[in-house]
Structure 1
Amino acid sequence: MSSSLPQILLVDDTVANLQLVSDFLMKAGFNVLAVKSGIQALKIVAITEPDLILLDVVMPEMDGFEVCRRLKAQEETQDIPVIFMTAVADRANPSYKIKGLKLGAVDYISKPIQLEEVLLRVQTHLQLRALTQQLTEQNACLQQEIRVRHQTQQILQETERRWRSLLENVQLLVVGLDWQGDVEYMNPFGLGLTGYTSAEVFGKNWFNTFIPSSEQPQLKQTFHELLYHNSHAYYQNSILTKSGEERLIAWNNTVLRDITGAIAGIMSIGEDITQRQAVERMKNEFISLVSHELRTPLTSMRGSLGLLKMGVYDNQPDKAKRMLDIAVTDCDRLGRLVNDILSLERLDSGQVTLVKEVCDVADLIKHSVEAIDAIAEAAGIAIQVTPLSAQVYVAPDTIIQTLTNLLSNAIKFSESNTTITVGVQHQSDCILFHVTDQGRGIPTEHLERIFGRFQQVDVSDSRQKGGTGLGLAICRSIIQQHGGGIWAESTLGSGSTFYFTLPVYKESVQ
């Protein structure tokens, strides 16, 4: 096609996905061809070569794996980057990933699709392809110039300068290895990522210096096959930095030859995908956790109501009432879970506008304690308040919600006949709140993690204590949006103290 826009071929048998992704990419400045089957995709590629293909795995008639195999079998289409799109269940299956990468795919995107993720990956792989093509073209150009000897030394120097400028300024890891695997070049970005100086790197064996010992045999074999069979142009592996940290790198490799055509080594362009993989893992874990937490009360409700529907307890009214109580309890838990998820998403996405006003700290604590006092009394727990009159500029309902959440947690994890202390301290630049209990305490390794979504010290707590695992995440989001901080300190067997700060009120903040 004559369009100067990058052309993306989108292949998915789900019309909704086609429309959603196609509209988003077109708005982002891409020319998108959207088809619903692998057969249609192959027909399109035979007519016009797209810059990149987004390919669904599971499709009728011809799945994405077969489409990719046919594309990579043809010289005209084998270099087109293919990104598979697959469901979470498929993405979690290692055999799918291995099969796709062996067929020549450059990446995977999990469903449900995050449009921003799709855009970032498309842009990254288009950049990688463009850089690879530039390097290949420049390498061929240099060899041609040497062979024909018609170019002047000045032109050669200028070409070298441009080549170096490209490699040394690109925000990707660029490594040149000779045919033995010794480092001949590493760009400044790569040196910064690994923590080495150029003197420490050049001439060192890549595998012995940068590759974890457990991966060295496989990667040496991959390197050999890349050199002599031109396979494994795209792959991922971990590298070790000077400090011993592991970073996951996605590589795009090009074999280099000298003026006689003999293999000289490889030039590899790598993207650090450590953070992206961590985000993807967190996304998958979040989806799994949400699915599990929603499914658990639904399963219990279905079981209880199913027994009632079948008439199992028609002649046992006490047991029938117990089944209804279970269903109502789980329905309430499900409602709390959904409300907490929605509240957290609105807070984190900035959809909640905090309507702030000048409030007295003592009043905020008073309202919070009154809201929870009946529960504390029923549990045989006393709440002791250390009064302090100070003013803060806050959204009062959200601060009361934070205090109530912390008090509720303290009650849940405290024994009868113990005391919970609520106090406030006036510091130089903030007001420090604390809620202290005499409960079981929290292991040190969990103190930071408990403020994440669905994070609890004991996985059985959500069922035994009635929590959703989102309360502290909501507290953290509220306090951060007020410009404060929140943290916990604890001694196992002696209790825990949760702290949060709010900025000192000044009239100018209004």
Structure 2
Amino acid sequence: MGEDVASVRGVTFRRSAVATALWILTSTAVLLSGLPETVRAAFSGGAIAVTAVVAATSCLLAARRSRGRRRRAWALLAAAGYVGFSGNAVALLTGTTQTGDLAYLGALLIGALALLSFPSSPVRRPQVARMVLDGVVVGGSVLFIAAVAVFPGREVVGPWLSYLIALVLPLVDAVLATLAVFLITRSSRSDFVPLLLVGLSFVLYALADLSYATLGVSTFSLGSAVDLGWITGYAMGGLAARHPGAVGAPPEPRRDESSPVGATVLTFSLFIVAAMVGVATRAGAPWSPVATALWIVILVAVAARQTILVVHNERLRRELEGRVRARTSELRTMTQSTELVLASVADGIYGVDRAGLVTFVNPAAARTLGYSAADLVGHDAHETFHAPGADGVPFPADGCYITEAVRDGLTTSAEEDRYRRADGKDIPVEVTASSLLDGTHVIGAVVVFRDMTQRREVDRLKNEFVSVISHELRTPLTSIHGSLGLLAGGAVGEMTPQAARMVTIALESSKRLARLINDILEVERMEAGVSTIETANHSAHDLVRAAVDQVRGMADTEGVSVRLGEVTGHVHADADRMVQTFTNLLGNAVKFSPPGSEVAVSARPSGAFVEFRVADRGRGIPPDRLEAIFGRFEQVDTTDAREKGGTGLGLAISRSIVERHGGRIWVTSTLGEGSTFHVAVPRAEVVDHLTAGATKTDLIDVRVTKKEMG
């Protein structure tokens, strides 16, 4: 429907353009013909009146089809046309020009309001004033050049009031034409052609009014080529109202506000040209009163324009300085608050740029590392205080969490590391590293670390206490377990059924307590590094098969099947310890799988490791528990110990065993679908290669591969 309306309006505009062209050609032929002066004068007066009425009516129709500011603009142009027609009619009926000239001047002022009413990007009042004054300078300069070059030396004839009014008319016309051109740069594309036609109409009016003023107000009569300016001017205004864009178009993004530089260059270029022409013609003949008055108006407009511009710029400068002061104060307050927060945090915080150089350090970080902040800023963080491995081999910068945060945008949380203080002492730390973003672009990283020395000491004392207590409990527990066994076996005689049941419960409880103590001691030995690890090359299939055989009976009891999938590769490990690990994992998988489900185990080489997988179809593990379940006495649910049994130490022991082998254990899980435990153990071929004379670079490559698997 919208396309049909636009098409109809386009056809109407083309027809109107053709009719306008024919009408202008007809008027030109008549006024330039050899017809008697009275005939040409009569035709000219009627043509001006008819064209004015048609143009005003077209503007009125455009106003009725428009909305908002555009409706007001076309309504004002219609009013200007009717006022101009009324002045022309009064002049013809009374034979005087003063009333008509006043009506023309009023029509032009109404036209100025119309131009300012067209939709455009917001413009401040000083900018509007500057645009109007630019129009005065540009239009006045053009008219001044015409006055001194085209109509030099004209004398004033007739009443001064009529002459002054006639002098103002072309100047106002030129101002409006220039204003229309300036408004085009601030309007939507749909308004371009209508405003251009309106501006052209004022230009034609200005030329005709200039001729009227310079040829002589009292002696001027209709019927000459000068009348074509008024006829064509009215025709262009009416044609502008017939254009499809006159009634508006769908909203478009408005153009950015144009720079005043272009307008300033145009304004003063014409002003300089007018001054040069005036100087050149002044020596030959004195200026006419028209030219003199125009030059005075131009000078006043230039002075006013520059005054407004200076005042406006000074106000903008003061406003800008005030905003800068306020913003600076806000930034200073924010900076002080940030520095206070960083200084108050007990954890160490430092930032690095994309090259890994330290950009800031909070007091806690400098104090923990034994440096001053100035000693660290600008230095490479990894090389300055990241401690090497236990064998003295520095960890590669490419595998560092700082590099990963800057290069890959990865976030590292709660990773254990060792930092080297300025005095050469190594301290254990827990690190969190994240990328520093500027929008979507990584510009660096922020690292938060915590000194774990005291926590490690507390853990050591706790573990030592538990170990001592566990050792002290084993002796009396062995006696209790033996005595209960003798009672259950009838060594002291036959017991009543009730007594036998109580002894059996006590015996099972003592066995469970013994397993708990053994598990605690096993964890202690593993973490202390005193547990013996006898490594050799073993087939991954043999290790997994041995573990599956051990849990087969438990799986049958629970109604769960254990499937041995594809298992390939060889590992360098302690066979008994690895079977113990796989047995723990398979036992947990069976225990937490629903009856009728399947537990699958597989293994395949992956880089420098063989990766084992134990997958179940149980209830799954929440994301926030994926790491916690490898801690001591940790289970997914607090009710699992009572319902499923177990001590909560199996996964802690498994992690200790795997890490003692230089491997890694982790879990992936989806709630409601099951979990998969992954165990990465060094491949036998890699270990044999290292043992045969590998370099430090080979060792680093293995560490990097291990890190990438996580």
Q: Do both share a fold (TM > 0.5)?
A: no
TM-score between the two structures when normalised by the length of structure 2: 0.31
More helix by share: 2
Which is higher, the Rg of structure 1 or of structure 2? 2
- Normalised by the length of structure 1, the TM-score is 0.42
- Relative contact order, higher structure (CA 8 A, sep 6+): 2
Higher strand share: 1
